[in-house]
Amino acid sequence: MAKEIKINKVEHQEVPSSQDKVYVFLHRGAVVGGKEVLTHGPHFVFSIASLDSFEKKMASAQADLHIASHDFVPVRYSTTNELLFTALSAALSIAVLGLVWYWLFGRGTKGGNKSGGIMGMNPFANYIKAKPTVVMPGSGKGISFKDVAGMEDAKCEVMEFVDYLKLPARYSELGAKIPKGALLVGPPGTGKTLLAKAVATEADVPFLTMAGSDFVEVFGGVGSARVRDLFGRARKLAPCILYIDEVDAIGRSRSSNSMGGHSEQESTLNQLLVEMDGMNTMEGVVMLASTNRHDILDQALLRPGRFDRLIAIDLPTLIERQAIFEVHLKKLSLKMPVKAFSKTLAELTPGNSGADIANICNEAALHAARMKDKTVDKRNFEYAVERVIAGMEKKTQTMSPEERRIVAFHEAGHALVGWMLEHTDPLLKLFDRMCMALGGRAAEAKIFRRVTTGAEDDLRKVTDMAYKQVVTFGMNPRVGNISFPVRKPSEPTKKFYSDKLAKLMDEEVRILVGKAFQTTNSIIEENRDKLYALAHELLDKEVLSYDDVAAVLGPCPHGDKRVRSNSHDGKSKSEPLFST
């Protein structure tokens, strides 16, 4: 210490109220042990026996160093009670935490309302509240029923609920009770949520909507609390419509995912069941919900008194697809009238949903803009259909001549078998569709005496069709007129039949696929010359239209594949792909 004092490194010393130690503070910038002092300190601390002894020794040491008394290192004495200082610091910290707590959770508390929670406040009051989207009557914004095409039956069913809420007396006079709820079921993209949006716009009653996933949280009890809050708000707005989208998020069967213990999803489902048809009735509240997983919903949710009606919204038919196309085509700048495109596009898109149709129209408009066209025309729609169904064309990934030849014969095999068979429309016979799918594999085996991995997707489709025919549709004499769901590896489900029956089903599926492959092989062998001609034409042009195929293979033996059977006189008639 004497060395530091000698070279004036010590700024001051401090003695606490306990007088048993001394804190040493150095000047900032002083160098001690080769390191520069940058902090305020204290930098050293040492114990002392008594304050008098310390003062005498410090004075003596500085005198020995010939330091004038007025230059002695100053000594400061602290008289603060350290215990009191600690208590005040703790109190200040608690006060700061209390202010933060109030700012986060207490500001929304109404004056005089001190129910529950710490200090009369519930910190989770806002967290457990349901936050539905509420559409009040008269808003006039959004989608109307005229924008929803292709589901007339479903619209009539839904409007019956709306009519009851508007004119309840007409039903009550007859003693009728309106169903409490309706469940919209169907594949993805068929327009379930779109129909609900139209109801929200056109119904003359309040419309509350939430997604099923909005109830699912990691904290226990939050889901059921939100269900209670949602139905409480609905009762206050009655008469009204309550809609839950993707209800399978909370309505999943309790037996299908029960792994023991308590499940938050199960608790939420139980609360939903009670609110829909329990001691607390839902007078004036109509429940709508939608899902594409109807098979996994809990049976208690589907019983009469909760979801009384199940409204199926399937993939659109030919006439429905035409109506959907006309709705979307009206929004585009077309080179020809809407009718010139809608019929043909509907025929080119079997099995497509309403969402797929909307995507096709949008892709056609995007392609026209990319090509700097002024209007959307035939080639834009042809590109859009291929883009949505088959994916984007790969222009940079080139194939070797051998690969191109294999692909050409593979696709020519599909086209040839489909041309020679009568029932190759997706809505008709499964066997012919299986043969058409196997045409590529059969052509490869016949021409190149080997097969490639390119038929993997074809084989998967054939296997799926065969299992559906044997297991689900009851079209096998040995298995009999019974129906079971087809089990998928990614979705383990309960097994409904014995191992013996499962073995029989597998055998019948192999036999059925084998027969389809033999039929396909026979067609390829009988029309080998046409297969070569079609493959070479495809290698030259890369893209073939219906007319190109007809020019190579000749007239279709079973009539024009483009024949329409929906003419007004009931007779079939053939029209070109795009009318002019």
User: Would you name the residues annotated as active-site residues?
Assistant: 411
Instruction: Please give the C-alpha separations between residue 91 and each of 85, 98, 264, in angstroms, as whole numbers.
Output: 10, 10, 39
CB 409 within 8 A of CB 539: no
Residue with tokens 């003419």: 567
Residues 6+ apart with CB under 8 A from 124: none
Reduce the DSSP state of residue 430 to 3 states and report it. helix
Distance, CA of 84 to CA of 488 (rounded, Å):
72
Q: Burial, 237: exposed, middle or buried (Cβ in 10 Å; 0-12, 13-18, 19+)?
A: middle
What whole-number distance in Å separates Cα of residue 223 and Cα of residue 269?
9
Q: Are 36 and 26 in contact (CB under 8 A)?
A: no
Give the 3-state secondary structure of residue 77.
strand
Q: Which of 206, 200, 151, 157 is nearest to 178 (CA)?
A: 157
For residues 335 and 326, give the distance between their C-alpha atoms in angstroms, rounded to a whole number.
14
Check: CB of residue 242 under 8 Å from CB of residue 274.
Answer: no
Q: For residues 402 and 448, what is the distance between their CA atoms, to the nearest angstrom?
A: 11
How far is the C-alpha of 352 from the C-alpha of 575, rounded, in Å? 22
> Is the sign of the CA dihedral 524, 525, 530, 532 positive or negative?
positive
Q: Using H for helix, E for strand and C for coil, what is the string for 293-359?
A: CHHHECHHHHCCCCCCEEEECCCCCHHHHHHHHHHHHCCCCECCCCHHHHHHHHHHCCCCCHHHHHH
Q: How far apart are the first and last CA of the chain?
A: 106
